[in-house]
Amino acid sequence: MTTDGLRRATLLVPLLFCGAMFGFFFAWQWSTVIGLNRIEPAVAIRAMQAMNASVRNMAFGTAFFGTPVILAGFAVIMALLGERARAAVLGLALLVHLGGVIAVTATINVPLNQILALVDPLVDPASAAQAWADYAGAWLSGNLLRTLASGLSLALVGLALLLPERKSPR
């Protein structure tokens, strides 16, 4: 394997991490919450509460918190190898991920999840319907931002893979 081939192969790690995040947010955006919108609000709330609790696990945590670490690490590695273009593209992927995934999650989706966690949908069906209406649209808007950002990060890592080999000065 050539040196450039090895460098490209190592970029499969950030590609997989970004791909995992994009797939996760994409599935929520275009199936999960849309499906929950088709059932009774009380049931949707209980289901979403259960899913929000179950997502706090090692596999998701590794992908969610590991992706920016992996992007930063590989940007540094590429810079140290003299691959300035690849390092810059990975750095841009990191910035997009931090702003569009981490920040949006922390400021939009997690606070909405925390509010929904306090709702007891069995107490008052009318209140449950209002709580779900207040939650679902706002949550999907935040998740759309995360989907777009994680997709862009994934595309940027793909671009880093496609960049031509750096020519050594003679």
DSSP letter for each residue of 115-138: HHHT--TTT-HHHHHHHHHHHHHH
Half-sphere exposure of 45 (CA within 13 A, CB side): 26
pTM of the model as a whole:
0.92
Q: Is the pLDDT of residue 3 over 80?
A: no
Indicate the pLDDT class of residue 90, thresholds 50, 70 and 90.
very high
The predicted pLDDT at position 8 comes to 76
- pLDDT, tens only, 126-137: 899 999 999 999
> For 68-88, b where at least 16 C-beta lie within 10 A, e where not — what string?
bebbbebbebbeeeebeebbb
Q: Domains of the chain: which residue ranges?
A: 3-162
Looking at residues 37-54, what average pLDDT do you find? 96
Give the DSSP per-residue string, 140-153. HHHHHHHHHHHHHH
- pLDDT, tens only, 100-124: 999 999 999 999 999 999 999 988 8
